[in-house]
A and B are shown apart, each in its own frame.
Chain A
């Protein structure tokens, strides 16, 4: 079994191998096994449906991190009719872990920013595994402000384990870069669509994560911290990551329920890495539909909705005392 197959894909791979075997056997020995093969194919399809409809958070996390998953540039190439990558933050450098540029889908111009992971180890080192430095966030902001100037909608594709934790990142103000982006994105006067296409790693994701619509692909996660880090802190044991992945409620489904994510974009059965084109089509459709909806509002309505969207996030109980009777208490539950 090739190493890039995930543990839970095992029964599927075994079935597929068996089908292949039978086909070969049928040819070699000239025996009719068509019925048998059909039965196995049906079974394989059924198992696939079963496996993928009941994935646990930990398994989804594995899919989100899958090395063969389409990257930001893969999606851009598949959905855009034209795209020109633009480089640099004009202050320090060009971050290869967070890319951006201008392009179009049909007649719709767009500014796109997104984390970029590598395809191979070498490529990943070049891309710093999709972990951006401050100059990455500042480049994104420069391009987004440019989008505002030319009245172009913004698409942000999130796929990062997190913002890079290193000495230079600290020296150049990682915290400030992320904070500034959130503040500015809250008030940019053009539509902003956010899509998590793989890993939504904490502040590193949120640094390009404020917008009118937040969507997640089906097998992605978005989390306050990595389950490994969470486990190491809370249980002093990184191997508890599986438990942490469940506790953190980090899947698209969980976050839709919590009201943080607006929409889940389906992936082809087996995951985006199994069918790039089909996955990109689904992405494109979601982008265009949502863009149309956002563009139906006036700018002030759009900004108000964007503000309210974030303003209402948080769960707590509000007690408000009524002066007339000390024993009477009103409870307002914010959800």
Chain B
């Protein structure tokens, strides 16, 4: 069954691997041949344990390493396939086109590059669908698009999905995975999306509606310091990197090495910042159970 969720084979794996491939190529030039072969279309080398995995097998295993359980990043489509009941997802139809409001150098070409690379218009996919039969409004931030950073369009689409949840009284789920935070190229317009989405969530909260925030690798900066941290329930996928400031910035500031396991899901759990750390294979089940419990709206007092 998992197989079906991950439709065509090697396509998904290449997103991550293209990067590795180009790195490998550079290496190859300098150090001679050999290593490049591993990143053949058919194989992926685990970033964690070095195990060489047949792509087909990796996809079947939800892109979790068969050897060490390392969770490879999923793109938004794979994430939706994993969580949403088959054929129940409808993407919201609005077409918002990103512009270059600050006329920031090279922004357009950057956008174009990522649009071609990911097949997405922007770093978020929003829509509604069912999870275990429960209708939900859902947004997935795609870390493959400009590091999943938030700009005007991403902020607007996230706000609209919150508003849809509010208007149609649907539970809201936002899957965060963005290391870019607020997108530099749109300056303060990006930063203010943090306030905009948080304000919209205040309304949802006032209405007594459920918001489940799911944090996946990586969740940082403007994403983590806004909607991602505001869930009634916050679930972190196993071994994701989650934090406010990036590790390099912290290291530079304090001039010390960072402790191992710093800013992982498990670190966040230990420090009381997330409700639960969940492996990819159990993620849907956990969400269904939470939705289930919240669907039972018994009278508390007559």
Contact = CB atoms under 8 A, between A and B. Distances in A.
Interface of A: 163-167, 169-176, 178-180, 182-184, 186-187, 202-203, 206-207, 209-210, 222-225, 229-230, 233-234, 247-250, 255, 258, 260, 306-307, 310-311, 313-321, 334
A82 to B, nearest CB: 31
Contacts of A225: 182, 184
B94 A167 contact: no
Interface in B179-197: 181-184, 186-196
A179 B191 contact: no
23 contacts: A165-B253, A170-B243, A170-B262, A172-B271, A173-B229, A173-B272, A173-B273, A176-B225, A178-B225, A180-B229, A187-B203, A187-B206, A203-B222, A210-B195, A210-B199, A223-B191, A229-B249, A247-B104, A249-B188, A314-B192, A315-B186, A316-B99, A316-B156
A222 B262 CA distance: 30
B202 A187 contact: yes
A307 to B, nearest CB: 6
Contacts, number: 189
Contacts of A334: 156
A206 B202 contact: no
Contacts of B102: 247-249
Contact of B224 (A172, A175, A184): A175
Interface in B122-162: 152-153, 155-156, 159
A317 B188 contact: no
Contacts of B186: 224, 315
B199 A314 contact: no
A286 B195 CA distance: 23
B15 interface: no
B189 A169 contact: no
Q: How large is the interface on B (under 10, 10 to 19, 20 to 34, 35 or more residues)?
A: 35 or more
B95 interface: yes
B273 A176 contact: yes
Contacts of A315: 99, 101, 152, 186, 189
Contact of A317 (B97, B192, B273): B97
A182 B94 contact: no
A316 B258 CA distance: 39
Contact of B244 (A165, A187, A210, A313): A165
B283 interface: no
B290 interface: no
A318 B95 contact: yes
Best-surrounded residue of B104, B198, B253 (most CB of chain A within 10 A): B198
A319 B221 CA distance: 30
A186 B193 contact: no
A223 B225 contact: no
A234 B198 contact: no
Nearest to A247: B104
A258 B190 CA distance: 12
Nearest to B156: A314
A310 B195 contact: yes
B249 A175 contact: no
Contacts of B226: 178-179, 182
Nearest to B223: A175
A206 B195 contact: yes
A184 B102 CA distance: 30
A183 B198 contact: yes
A96 to B, nearest CB: 18
Interface in B72-104: 94-99, 101-102, 104
B205 interface: yes
Given A179-B226, A310-B195, 16 more contacts: A166-B254, A167-B262, A169-B244, A170-B262, A170-B263, A178-B225, A180-B230, A224-B188, A224-B190, A247-B105, A310-B196, A314-B189, A315-B189, A316-B97, A317-B99, A318-B95
